[in-house]
Amino acid sequence: MAGRLVMRGIALAYLGVLLAVPVGMVMVKTFEPGPVAVWQAVTTPAALHAFWLTLLVTAVAVPLNAVFGVLAALVLVRGRSRLRPVLDVMVDLPFAVSPVVVGLAMILVYGRDGWLGGWLADAGIRIIFSVPGIVIATMFVCLPFVAREVVPVLREIGTEQEQAASTLGASGWQTFWRVTLPAIRWGLAYGVVLSTARAVGEFGAVSIVSGKISGQTETLTLLVEKRYTNFDMAGAYAASALLAVIALATLGLMALLQRRKDTA
Amino acid sequence: MISVTGVSKRYGDFQALDEVSVHVTPGALTALLGPSGSGKSTLLRIIAGLEVPDAGTVTLAGEDVTHVSPRHRGVGFVFQHYAAFTHMTVRQNVAFGLTVRKEPREKAAATVDRLLDVVGLTGFQHRYPHQLSGGQRQRMALARALAVEPSVLLLDEPFGALDRNVRNELRAWLRRLHDEVHVTTILVTHDQEEAMELADSLVVLNHGRVEQVGGPRELYDAPASDFVMRFLGPVTETPRGLVRPHELVVSAVPEPDATEAQVARIVHLGFEVRAEMESGDGSRITAQLPRAEADALELEPGQIVYVRAPHAPRPAEPDTEEDLVRV
Ligand SMILES: Nc1ncnc2c1ncn2[C@@H]1O[C@H](COP(=O)(O)OP(=O)(O)OP(=O)(O)O)[C@@H](O)[C@H]1O
Ligand SMILES: [Mg+2]
């Protein structure tokens, strides 16, 4: 009994020191100058633009990744291709590679002197230092979440329900929409929430490919960093608080999903 | 009519089916019987189109469907573990085949109502599968398969995951259902009693090959091999071959053609008695006789008795050495 209390104490203290205290401190610091100042700091044109840009990037990257993640999971679990192990490693790659390296790699591919750079420039497409680059970088770092959440669920449900559907006359498409997708919906939802959290908070890769042009390619995390390096601590805290609010909303959604998953 | 001709299937270097040919009469209930791993499920899945054979053909109602997708074969398949659509209610499960075929609503609803009634799940139609017992789930799966009016119903150990009482109940119910609906049915089982009780005709599989095909009586009375004989019921070995324990005649006095044996153990099985004996050469013989007969002989351990088979042991054709070792 006492042992369990000690364990619980250690776990809580660990989480407290690592998470709760710093996040709490940001909130406290944010509101130190008073609510009016906070409001002004988060409603400057640059801050508003950063907020909307972050939402836009997330809104594009997360759905695309959700589709890709489900396809990848289907190939990984149901596929017979010999390339499966390769895909398996590829899906995990973003976990293993530092986002900064991802950013640099993108410069090598899409940059002015990059592999596709010349061709893209001729076609009038700009990727690096513009929004498409930010979207691609964000998609890359969020790639694993949906696939990794959906794969175990697909394994668990097995193939019998799908086979039953086919003997009952359902086409592959009907089977996917009516049987497979509903069966994996909680895993998918969970993966989407995790990707969203990651997309909103992404810094390293985006900081390299975006060019950090205020009012154009500056996301919320980049804004926080800029204000911090410019000794605008109050502004940095206010922008962080905005990020924290998005993160908390995402986490709340996740908790809600978890509850529904357990009762369903 | 279901015809399977020369069907073979390998998994890696394991031969799951080896040139299997089976022809099923329309309207009959046929049991595929065999030990675990003998290829029963594989054969059934090939008939359903869930698996493609390496060689051979499958025809349904005269049409070669070997490479036709399961959705166009018109077969109903019932899985051992129900394969219920877990996120749909009982009603939605049963209606699934009609829904994907875009049947008119009213007609589909009427069919579903009728089937729910047939399987006795009318009061459960708004429940989810996880709120049903195993037996109820399996009845739901059966209704779901029947809803699309399949020309063939395939059941893969449908009662295998259920406890004995439920199994017996569903068995009787399935037979009644079959007598009413008359859809050509193949039932996979490794339980010979189930096969005997339910089926009009039996196909015995062993190591991916057909051992014998015939009616329950035919197989029991004239098994083509030691394997079939052993698989369909208890056997005992006599110096002259395999016999059923209840066919042995036990007497207290020597008789022509009888073997002398010593009683080792007596087991009371209700109205019958099983006598386990040892003959002079050390081989064990088991006889099963009515209690009155055993009482008359005053059988008890240590006693010397004389045992004989009333007719020539089966199978008439002696099996190969290999078959004997296998069993
Ligand atoms: N997908 C597969 N991959 C590899 N081997 C398989 C596969 N499916 C079946 N087998 C093998 O084929 C053999 C026959 O399998 P099958 O499922 O048809 O047996 P069964 O007669 O239905 O047995 P049981 O009574 O245990 O269900 C088994 O030895 C099994 O291991
Ligand atoms: Mg099987």
Q: Where are the domains of chain A?
A: 36-263
The encoded tokens of residue A57 equal 């990037």
Q: What is the structure's pLDDT at A264?
A: 56
Q: What pLDDT, in 10s, does the model give residues B284-303?
A: 889 999 998 888 888 889 88
Residue A166 sits at the chain B interface (C-beta within 8 Å): yes
Q: Would you call A171 and B71 a contact, using CB atoms and an 8 Å cutoff?
A: yes
Nearest to B158 by CA among B183, B186, B180: B186
Burial tier of B191 (Cβ tally within 10 Å: 0-12, 13-18, 19+): middle
Look at residue B186 in the predicted model and tell me its pLDDT: 96
The amino acid sitting at A149 is E
Min Cα–Cα distance to chain B from A67, Å: 21
Q: Nearest C-alpha to atom 29 of ligand 1 is from which residue?
A: B37
- Quick: pLDDT tens for B192-239: 889 998 999 999 999 999 999 999 999 988 899 999 998 988 888 877
Ligand nearest to the CA of B205: 1
Residues B114-164 have pLDDT tens digits of 999 988 999 999 999 999 999 999 999 999 999 999 999 999 999 888 888
Closest CA to ligand 1's atom 22: B41
Helix H or strand E segment including B89: none
Comparing CA positions, the residue from B10, B1, B2, B5 lying closest to residue B208 is: B10
ipTM of the complex: 0.84
- Assess whether the C-beta atom of B38 lies below 6 angstroms from ligand 1: yes
Coil, helix or strand at residue A74: helix
Can you tell me the mean pLDDT for B256-268? Answer: 88
Instruction: Give the nearest chain B residue to A159 (CA atoms).
Output: B83
- Rounded distance from Cα B208 to ligand 2 centre (Å): 12
Q: What is the pLDDT of residue B124?
A: 96
Residues of chain A positioned with their CB less than 8 A from the CB of B144: 164, 168
For B19, counting Cβ atoms within 10 Å of its Cβ (0-12 exposed, 13-18 middle, 19+ buried), the class is middle
Distance from the CA of A195 to the center of ligand 2, in angstroms?
Answer: 41
Q: How far is the CA of B294 from the centre of ligand 1 (A)?
A: 45
> If contacts are CB pairs under 8 Å, which of residues 181-210 in chain A contact chain B?
182-183, 185
Among A157, A163, A168, whose Cβ lies nearest the Cβ of B97?
A168
Is residue A169 within 8 angstroms of chain B, CB to CB?
yes
The more confidently predicted of residues B265 and A16 is B265
Q: Which of B283, B276, B281 is nearest to B305 (CA)?
A: B276
CB A133 within 8 A of CB A110: yes
pTM: 0.84
Q: Is the beta carbon of B315 within 6 A of some atom in ligand 1?
A: no
Q: Would the CB atoms of A165 and B101 count as touching at under 8 Å?
A: no
| CB neighbour burial string for B20-40, b if at least 16 within 10 angstroms, e if fewer | bebebeeebbbbbbbeeebbb
pLDDT given at position B317: 53
Torsion of CA A124, A125, A131, A132, to 10 degrees: 170
Chain B environment of A178 (Cβ under 8 Å): 96, 99-100
For residues B134-152, one letter each, b for 16 or more C-beta atoms within 10 angstroms of the residue's C-beta and e for the rest, the string is bbbbbbbbbbbbbbbebbb
Q: Do B85 and A170 make contact, defined as CB atoms within 8 angstroms?
A: no
Span from the CA of B42 to the centroid of ligand 1 (angstroms):
6
Q: What percent of chain A has pLDDT over 70?
A: 98
Cβ B40 under 6 angstroms from ligand 1: yes
The residues near B64 (Cβ < 8 Å, ≥ 6 apart) are B57, B58
Cα(B215) to ligand 1 centroid in Å equals: 26
Residue among A166, A168, A179 whose CB faces B144 most closely: A168
Average pLDDT over residues A5-25: 87
- Region A153-179: mean pLDDT is 95
Residue B315's CB is within 10 A of a number of other CB atoms, namely: 18
Nearest to A79 by CA among A155, A177, A182: A155
The verdict on the CB of residue B16 being under 6 Å from ligand 1 is: yes
pLDDT in tens, A63-117: 999 999 999 999 999 988 888 999 999 999 998 999 999 999 999 999 888 888 8
Cα A242-A247-A249 angle, rounded to 5 deg: 95
CATH architecture of A36-263: Orthogonal Bundle (1.10)
Query: Is A106 within 8 Å of A137 (Cβ atoms)?
Result: yes
Give the number of other Cβ atoms within 10 Å of residue A112's Cβ: 12
pLDDT score for B314: 65
Q: Is the CB of B11 under 6 A from ligand 1?
A: yes
Whether residue B107 is predicted with pLDDT greater than 80 in this model: the reply is yes
Q: Give the Cα separation of A223 and A229 in Å (integer).
A: 10
pLDDT at A119: 87
Structure tokens at A100: 């900064």
Nearest CA-CA distance, residue A253 and chain B, Å:
21
B85 to A163: CB separation less than 8 angstroms, yes or no: no
Cα–Cα distance list, A180 to A175, B113, B138, B201, B232 (Å): 6, 26, 21, 38, 41
Q: Which residue has the tokens 């697909």?
A: A154
Closest residue by Cα to atom 6, ligand 1, is B11
